[in-house]
C-alpha cells in the first residue's frame, strides 16, 4: 500500500494557473455574451436527454436563437444568438433540464455513452444520476468552476482518456479506480463509495484552488487525496478516444442503438426534431455525436433511412468523424475569419489514427501545439491540428 499524498508529482504539475478571477464558463442562466449574441450552454449529465427534452431544445433554438445548435466535447448542447434568455430558461426549466438554478454549471458529468446497453464492465448510468443529485445537494459545489468536470468510465476506456478532473474507472474486479485529471491515483473504490468520493474531491478542490479552475492547474494535489490509500500502482492513463460510436449498434437487450455523427457538431433544430421523433432515449456523446437508443429493430431500420439523408453520418469510414472546427467568425470575437471547412471527400486510403481540428484564430487567442500546422502570417493564424491534441480538449 502506498500513501497517495506522498507519491511523486504527476503530469498535473507545472500547468499554468489562470489569473482571471471571474468564471466566464457559460451556463443556461449565466450566459456568455459572444460576438453573435448570448450563448446558452445546457449541461446534460452523462449526455442523457429524452426525446421530449430534445424537442424543447429545438423549439428554444428556433424561437429565441440560432437554429444551429452546437454539441460540445463534454456531451452538452449550446444555443447561440439567444435573444430572450429569460424565456429560454423558463422553457428549459419546464422541460426538466434545469433542476437546480444554483448548481447548473456544476453538473459536468461525462460517462461511457453506451454503458448498460452494449459493452463495458458495468452500467454507470445509475452512478450518473446519483452523482448529479449529490452535486446539487452539496451547497458548496454551487461555486465549483464551470470547467471542472467528472467522469464515469464503465471499464471500456472510452471516457477516462478525456482527462476529467475527478473520475472513476470500472475494473474487472468489481471496484473503481479513482482518477485525477485522467491519471490513476491507485485508490480503489467500491461502487457504493464512488459518488461520495468524487463529491469529496470536488469539495477539497474548492478549499485549495486559489485561482485554479482545473485540478491540472494545482501545484500540489496531495490535499485532494488526504486520508486515502493507494492499493495499486499509480500513474496509469488511458488514450483518448477520437471517433464516436456510429452506425447500427446491437444492444444486449435485443434493441438497436443508432450512432449518428454530427458534422462539426452543428445540429440543426429541424434535424433534432427528427431525432426526437423516434421517441426513445438519446445520448449526446463527448465526440459531438448522438446515440438514439433502445430502438426496436424494425423501427431502427426505418429511422436510419429517414435520418441519413438529413446529413447525419452513420458510416464509420466517413472522414467527417475525424474533423472538428472552432466556431470562427462571426460567433467568436477572437476569431479573425470564418471557419467552415469544405466537406471532406471520401478517401480510399486507410483511415488515419488521428483526425483534424480546424481553426482560425487572432493573435490574442491560444495557439495549438507545435505539431499542428500554421501558415507564416502575423495577423491571423489558420491551423489544422490532430483531433485529440491538448488544445482541442479545452474546447467547450
Question: Over the stretch 207-231, which tens digit does the pLDDT of each residue have?
Answer: 999 999 999 999 988 999 999 999 9
Residue 330 has pLDDT above 90, yes or no: no
Please give the CATH architecture assigned to the domain spanning 247-318.
Alpha-Beta Complex (3.90)
If you average pLDDT over residues 145-172, what whole number do you get? 98
Three-state secondary structure of 99-122: CCCCCCCCCCEEECCCCCCCCCCC
Question: Above pLDDT 70, what percent of the chain?
Answer: 76
pLDDT on residue 340: 56
Place of cell 490509500: 229
In the chain, CATH 3.30.413.10 sits at: 2-21+105-230
Please report the pLDDT score of residue 36 as a whole number: 77
Whether residue 135 is predicted with pLDDT greater than 60 in this model: the reply is: yes
Lowest mean pLDDT among 70-79, 319-328, 343-352: 343-352
Q: How do residues 378-395 score in pLDDT, each as one tens digit?
A: 444 444 444 443 333 333
**Mean pLDDT calculated for residue range 106-135:** 99
> Sorting pLDDT into bands at 50, 70 and 90, what band is 368?
very low
Task: Write down the pLDDT at residue 22.
Answer: 72
Go through the chain and tell me how many residues it has: 396
* pLDDT above 90 coverage of the chain, percent: 71
- Render 66-106 in DSSP notation, one character per residue: -SEEEE-TTS-EEEEEES-HHHHHHHHHHTTS-S-SSSTTT
CA distance 37 to 83: 7
Say if residues 343 and 359 touch (Cβ distance below 8 Å): no
Q: Quote the strand ranges of the chain, DSSP E.
A: 2-3, 32-34, 37-42, 48-49, 68-71, 77-82, 109-111, 150-153, 166-170, 176-180, 183-189, 229-230, 247-250, 256-261, 266-268, 282-284, 289-295, 323-325, 356-361, 381-386
CATH topology of domain 2-21+105-230: Sulfite Reductase Hemoprotein; domain 1 (3.30.413)
**Chain region(s) in the chain for CATH 3.90.480.10:** 247-318
Beta bridge partners of 357: 324, 385
C-alpha cell at 122: 458495468
Give residue 216's pLDDT: 95
The whole-number pLDDT of residue 48 equals 99
> Is the model's pLDDT at 64 over the cut of 90?
yes
* pLDDT > 70? residue 17: no
For residue 246, pLDDT over 60 is answered with yes
Closest CA to 194 of 241, 154, 148: 154
- Nearest 10 degrees: Cα torsion 72, 74, 76, 80: -30
Which pLDDT score is estimated for 332? 58
Beta-bridged to residue 11, according to DSSP, are none
pLDDT at residue 362, as a whole number: 43
Q: What is the pTM of this model?
A: 0.84
Closest by CA position to 204, among listed 178, 186, 237, 174: 178
Residue with cell 485529471: 181
Dihedral sign for Cα atoms in the order 237, 239, 240, 245:
negative
| For range 370-375, the mean pLDDT | 40
- pLDDT at residue 353 greater than cutoff 50: no
User: pLDDT confidence of 365, banded at 50, 70, 90?
Assistant: very low
Amino acid at each position: 500500500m502506498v500513501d497517495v499524498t506522498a507519491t511523486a508529482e504527476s503530469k498535473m504539475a507545472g500547468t499554468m494557473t489562470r489569473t482571471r478571477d471571474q468564471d466566464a464558463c457559460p451556463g443556461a442562466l449565466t450566459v456568455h455574451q459572444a460576438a453573435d449574441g448570448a450563448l446558452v450552454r445546457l449541461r446534460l449529465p452523462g449526455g442523457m436527454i429524452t426525446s421530449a427534452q430534445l424537442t424543447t431544445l429545438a423549439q428554444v433554438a428556433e424561437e429565441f436563437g440560432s437554429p444551429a445548435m452546437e454539441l460540445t466535447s463534454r456531451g452538452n448542447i449550446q444555443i447561440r444568438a439567444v435573444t430572450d434568455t429569460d424565456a429560454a430558461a423558463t422553457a428549459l426549466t419546464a422541460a426538466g433540464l434545469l433542476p437546480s438554478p444554483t448548481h447548473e454549471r456544476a453538473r459536468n458529468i461525462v460517462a461511457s455513452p453506451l454503458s448498460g446497453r452494449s459493452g463495458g464492465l458495468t452500467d454507470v448510468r445509475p452512478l450518473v444520476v446519483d452523482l448529479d443529485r449529490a452535486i446539487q445537494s452539496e451547497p458548496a459545489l454551487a461555486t465549483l468552476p464551470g470547467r471542472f468536470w467528472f467522469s464515469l468510465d464503465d471499464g471500456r476506456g472510452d471516457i477516462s482518456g478525456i482527462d476529467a478532473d475527478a473520475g472513476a474507472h470500472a475494473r474487472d474486479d468489481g471496484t473503481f479506480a479513482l482518477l485525477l485529471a485522467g491519471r490513476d491515483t491507485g485508490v480503489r473504490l467500491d461502487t457504493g463509495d464512488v459518488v461520495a468520493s468524487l463529491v469529496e474531491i470536488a469539495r477539497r478542490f474548492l478549499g485549495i484552488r486559489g485561482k485554479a479552475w482545473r485540478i491540472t492547474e494545482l501545484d500540489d494535489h496531495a490535499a485532494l487525496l488526504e486520508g486515502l490509500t493507494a492499493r495499486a500502482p499509480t500513474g496509469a492513463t488511458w488514450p483518448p478516444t477520437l471517433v464516436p460510436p456510429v452506425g447500427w449498434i446491437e444492444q444486449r437487450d435485443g434493441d438497436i442503438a443508432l450512432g449518428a455523427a454530427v458534422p462539426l457538431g452543428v445540429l440543426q433544430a429541424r434535424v433534432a426534431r427528427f431525432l426526437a421523433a423516434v421517441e426513445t432515449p438519446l445520448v449526446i456523446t463527448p465526440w459531438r455525436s448522438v446515440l438514439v437508443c433502445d430502438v426496436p429493430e424494425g423501427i431502427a431500420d426505418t429511422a436510419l433511412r429517414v435520418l441519413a439523408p438529413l446529413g447525419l453520418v452513420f458510416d464509420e469510414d466517413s472522414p467527417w468523424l475525424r474533423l472538428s472546427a472552432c466556431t470562427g467568425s462571426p460567433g467568436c470575437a477572437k476569431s479573425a475569419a470564418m471557419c467552415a471547412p469544405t466537406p471532406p471527400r471520401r478517401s480510399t486510403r486507410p483511415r488515419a489514427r488521428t483526425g483534424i481540428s480546424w481553426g482560425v484564430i487572432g493573435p490574442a487567442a491560444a495557439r495549438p501545439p507545435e505539431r499542428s500546422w500554421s501558415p507564416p502570417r502575423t495577423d491571423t493564424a489558420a491551423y489544422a491540428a490532430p483531433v485529440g491534441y491538448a488544445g482541442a480538449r479545452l474546447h467547450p
